Structure 1
Amino acid sequence: MRLLTVILLVLLLAGCASEEVVLDKDWKVSPLFESGSYTMIGEEGRIGFIYDDGEAVRFYPNKEQKYMWHVWGQSEEIQDALTVLATSQETGEKVTVINAISIGGPNNGADGHAPSMMSLPSAGLWRLDAYVGEKLYGHIVVEVHENV
């Protein structure tokens, strides 16, 4: 019985590991969408920030810029602070890019918004995991471009 349990556990862990590798290979920059008079990147109707892939808002390594986050949801769902953790596809490095900022009221067609300053440390694809309070609220994948 113990041997069967060990075998099942190993198979389960192997399955999880191979699934993670597949997800990493399939990372794509999140889609752009319109809200209010702005173009945003993220999950339309859930979470995003103003972004149009122009020079002024592109991500470059270690260049801090202002980004306006927007969230959609019921007021009780978005009342906690916004925290964003970023993971590099290439290296697996994890960094906190936003640490518990307050979400304000409706703005640009969204139910809540939060101005932020963000930077990412290296070029490549980064997945931004956005948390409202303790709850994972959504993911946004961005590309950090080499310095110009």
Structure 2
Amino acid sequence: MARFSILFSLVIIAVTVKEIELSSDAMKAITSGFLKVLEQCKQELNLQGHVISDLYHYWKEDYSLLNRDTGCAIICMSKKLDLIDASGKLHHGNTAEFAAKHGAASEVASKLVEILHACEKTHDAIEDDCMRALEIAKCFRTDINQLNWTPKMDVIITEVLTEM
């Protein structure tokens, strides 16, 4: 019986690790897909290098995102990818579809939408659109880090830059 319990525990651990790997891989592809429109937004909004730095360090939990321009860039990229509706709120269907298109399983895509929606509701009272987007992004980052789904940004940036 003890052997069965140990074997069962190892199988559960292996499945959980594989789920985390798949989720992290999906987050890498989603982040990469999201950043592909950054250059357009950079030109349109006349964004400076600090925004690129903020996005490069985005997934680092200890990195403080304080720049309003980063929130504006996130809004711009989200609009270009049809991830937010005309009222500036998360478009659940388009966001889940975007995640799935970039390799997220339906459960992962649903969880991402759930997290974003919760973060959006938490920061709904912030009137400045760019600051609200920045706070939503920080909330999302924290929740993704807690799930251990954080992608490696150096790999993402290298991939995005080689495609530009």
Q: Tell me the TM-score normalised to structure 1 length.
A: 0.35
Higher helix share: 2
Higher strand share: 1
